[in-house]
Structure 1
Amino acid sequence: MQGSTKIIDLLNRQLTMELSSMDQYLAHSKLYEDWGISRLYHLLEHEYDEELGHARKIIERIIFLEGKADTASRDPIQVGGDVKQMLTFDLAAENAVAESLREIIGVCEEEQDYVTRDMLMELLDDTETDHIFWLEQALGLIDLVGIQNYIQSQMKASEG
């Protein structure tokens, strides 16, 4: 089914954002793993997998619309130097993803591509209720209990 070139281009832009977020989560998860902050490591592994799932859905839709999925392009990522900075950078990336999704959903309405719109609404829901929510919650906890207490709460409990 030949889709709108405008929507295919916007989906490729969204794909770039999802893949870039995935790269940033990977970099941050590996830092958390190296620092021994295992709960954050596992949370970001989960976020990486979810971004990969978002990318797959977008790729499948682009192909269905007879477009060519651009899986090579990336936006610059921001790798933080400490836990709070990393969480802040991840939240900024997710907010940008959500804003872009809202824009594309509007274009899908204009172009009457309701299937793409519905798929993107699912991604937006996941972005807002999972990704953004837990990042805001983590940053709120840092403000509430302090960075050292937050980091300690995210470390694996010692065995024995």
Structure 2
Amino acid sequence: MPKGAKELIDALNEDISYELAAIIQYMWHHVMASGVESPAIIDRFRLVAMDEMRHAEMLAERIDLLGGVPTTELAAIQVGGDLKKMIRDDIAGEELAVRLYKQHIKLADGLDDPISRRMLEDILADEERHLHDWETVLERS
């Protein structure tokens, strides 16, 4: 196991726990929003869940390559309420993801792990896009 890998594996596992929770949260929002007048918003929940699934897979593969075991533990999941509450919950989740990924990018950079750093930067870009999209949806609703 490379120097500092344990600390990075722990950070990546933290990311996975939030990604797994986000997958479930977005899928439940997709199901619970089925009565909403906007099919585009309903579909957006599903599409973002698929992005989060891809992120979890990338993180798990990197953890495995670093000699760790990907977690199966979930972070807290927020479901229920009206559409605006669902979107606010998703915005809060994306804000947290952005903060964590920025911290973990610095960690990977400090450990001289450019592969993990680039992967995390790619995921961060997706999370920032999700955050912007949900903020825009909330402003318009």
- Could you tell me the TM-score, scaled by structure 1's length? 0.83
Q: Does 1:132 align with 2:122?
A: no
| Cα-to-partner distance string for 1:104-134 (whole Å, 9 max, x where unaligned) | 01111111111100000000011102x1111
Q: What is the CA-CA distance between 1:46 and the residue it aligns to? A: 0.4
**Poorly superposed stretches of 4+, deviation over 6 Å:** none
Instruction: Tell me the secondary structure at the aligned position of residue 23 of structure 1.
Output: helix
Q: Percent identity?
A: 28
Q: What is the CA-CA distance between 1:33 and the residue it aligns to? A: 1.9
Structure-to-structure mapping, 1:42-53, within 5 angstroms:
42-53=43-54
Contact 1:14 1:100 in 2 (8 A): yes
Residue 9 (structure 1) aligns with: 10
**Looking at CA atoms only, which structure, 1 or 2, has the larger radius of gyration?**
1
What is the aligned residue count? 139
- Could you tell me the TM-score, scaled by structure 2's length? 0.94
Residue 56 (structure 2) aligns with: 55
Q: What is the CA-CA distance between 1:38 and the residue it aligns to? A: 2.4
| Cα-to-partner distance string for 1:68-124 (whole Å, 9 max, x where unaligned) | 011x20111111310111000000001101100001011111111111000000000
**What is the distance in 1 between the residues matched to 2:38 and 2:78?**
19
Which ranges of structure 2 fall in alignment gaps of 5 or more residues? none
Aligned-pair Cα RMSD in Å: 1.2
Return the letter of the residue paired with 1:77: I
Residue 18 (structure 1) aligns with: 19
**What is the distance in 2 between the residues matched to 1:35 and 1:128?**
25
Residue 111 (structure 1) aligns with: 111
Instruction: Tell me the secondary structure at the aligned position of residue 50 of structure 1.
Output: helix
